[in-house]
Amino acid sequence: MKNKITSNLLLLSILIFVACKKSETKKPFNVLWLVAEDLSPDYLNAYGDLRAPTPNLDRLANEGVVYTNNFSVSGVCSPSRATLTTGLYPNSFGAQNMRTLNQQPAIRESGIIDYQVVPPPEVKMVSEIMRENGYYTSNNAKEDYQFFKSELAWDESSIYAHWRNRPDENTPFFSIFNFGVTHESRMWNFKMDIFDEGEFPPDRSVKKWNEKHENSHVPLLVSEDLEIDIPPYLPQNEIGKNAMRRMYTNIMRMDTGVGKILDQLEEDGLMNQTIIVWFSDHGGPLPRQKRLLYDSGLRVPLIIRYPDGSRAGERDNRLISFVDFPPTLLSMVSIQAPSYMHGQAFEGTFKAETTRTFVHGHADRFDETVDMIRAVRDKRFKYLKNFYPGRPYYLPLAYREKMEVMRELLRMRDAEILDENQALWFRTTKAEEELFDTENDPHELNNIANDPAYAEILNTLRVECKRWMKAIDDKGLIDEKDLIKNFYPNGKAQLTKSPEIEVQNGKIRVNCATPGARIGYRYSSEKAPHKGWKFYTEPIVEKPNDTLEIITHRLGYKYAITTIANGTMGETVYPPNRHDKQ
């Protein structure tokens, strides 16, 4: 009898142990995106340039995977982020122009208003999909999607947003932290980054410091004696060197910010429960980098550290596009991506069986300047299709000309002292087609489109460019004013219809007739900055003496909020946004 009891206890212990292990195995991973701005991989230790010490990125690289052929879809921020949040190419739904939410005065004079792009009705922000699947989502803090964020996409999107604000430690999270210190504007404007002080939430003194030292010069962290390699298209003088030193300094400051977030992850004991993804939103901040479709504008760093230490120290050479990021994010946590997304998962449960052959990019309006270029690249060759060959490559841009190094290029141009490489950007016309061998010509200075030896490659990429543009129904072929008329039929943003509400026996049923509208709700007594709207999936139980708020929102439309208190429905309001004043 005693042996039988012992055996049963042993069996029970084994079953409990197995159940616990099984439960641990099933616990979903967190995902952390650390996003730098305006940064090419060419200037990082992990990619071979040792000038700027980046111990935190080096740690991620040593413990994770360095992806060497990762590309943005655009050489500028807003269209790139439109893709990162939707999984669609920006030029497939009219988000290709930089930018739409806040126009520069010069483009306003031409009749282009501030406007939201309207994605197709089925499209959701990927963070909303994560929320629907039980994830706490936080964004600290840049948005800039070409449309105002879905009100159901984030539990919190602010400089105070953090995974630490989630309701309990068992709730998995998807959190984004953005590092603005490497942005183009930090080449001429030296405000502090919120991570420089190492506070979370960030101390209000950062804002006070910025107001007091608006034009102050942050000291260089790299030595002024540091030997510098200046790209051949930039001034080969002290001004060119200073621009490079400033960029390296900003990289080091960004790395410090990354380290602070990693420290917080370790403090919380979450390093081995979290997939850490570090990348930048497009290529470098310098002239002939940002906004252009050369690799200096499109190729971006990507490092992923996996919780189980798998593939540590590996270098992955597959072609990857930003359209692949949303489906991969979902795949990493075993969520099937919606079929409307243009990309394919390159990791995770739903990893694609075949790898990419091509990546694609676009360039359209940038603030007050208008052009249209499309790019296709395989692992070695880059094809550019210039739709306005009669326009020069360099188009004046007030924002870019705040950089000393840009002003120096213009001075050299006017003095007619540019060398052959520097002068390429200032051609008064450009070829209709360009082809570059990025392996032998990494700065893309030598157009080989007319070389018969490359005729077959040229035709292959040309055909792929046409195929891609047709497949996504490229909206760059539509005049922007006509796009706006489509998005804003009456000259104003479209309104998400107010909800259809039925109150019966203390339960509230809700419907919205706007195609693609999402429905959310919250009780006034439960409102908090770090709590997002709840998704409406079934009738809501009314609470006595508590006001229920119901939100209906389609991306690109103004959202509606309707209140119900004690069984009585209040009026529907459309909260104002900054576009209402135009």
**Greatest CA separation for the chain:** 102
Tokens of 512: 């919205």
pLDDT of residue 288: 97
Q: Mark residue 573 as left, alpha or beta (left: phi above 0; alpha: psi -120 to 50; beta: remaining).
A: beta
Which domains does the chain show, CATH number per domain? 27-90+125-352 (3.40.720.10), 500-581 (2.60.40)
Task: Assess whether the previous peptide bond of 287 is cis (omega < 30° from 0).
Answer: no
Task: Decide if pLDDT at 165 tops 70.
Answer: yes
Q: Output phi, psi for 181, to 5 deg.
A: -65, -20
Answer for the pair 90, 473: CB distance below 8 angstroms, yes or no: no
pLDDT of residue 225: 87
Answer for the pair 271, 32: CB distance below 8 angstroms, yes or no: no
pLDDT of residue 219: 79
d(CA 30, CA 22): 18
Name residues whose C-beta falls within 8 Å of residue 414's C-beta, 6 or more positions apart in sequence: none
20 is catalytic: no
d(CA 65, CA 46): 10
User: If pLDDT is split at 50, 70 and 90, which confidence band does 566 have?
Assistant: confident
More confident residue, 277 or 104: 277
* pLDDT single digits (tens) 425-454: 999 999 999 999 999 999 999 999 999 999
d(CA 383, CA 357): 14
pLDDT of residue 21: 45
Residue entry with tokens 């990354």: 258
DSSP 535: E
Q: Classify residue 547 as exposed, middle or buried by CB count within 10 Å of its CB (0-12, 13-18, 19+).
A: middle
User: If pLDDT is split at 50, 70 and 90, which confidence band does 161 have?
Assistant: very high
pLDDT of residue 2: 46
**Hey, which residues does 369 pair with through a beta bridge?**
366
d(CA 297, CA 288): 8
Task: Decide if pLDDT at 199 tops 70.
Answer: no
Q: Classify residue 215 as exposed, middle or buried by CB count within 10 Å of its CB (0-12, 13-18, 19+).
A: exposed
Count CB-CB contacts under 10 A for residue 140.
22
Task: Decide if pLDDT at 233 tops 80.
Answer: yes
DSSP 401: G
pTM for the whole thing?
Answer: 0.93
Average pLDDT, the chain: 92
Tokens of 234: 């930039």
More confident residue, 189 or 126: 126
Q: Output phi, psi for 141, to 5 deg.
A: -150, 0
More confident residue, 189 or 514: 514
* pLDDT single digits (tens) 35-80: 999 999 999 999 999 999 999 999 999 999 999 999 999 999 999 9
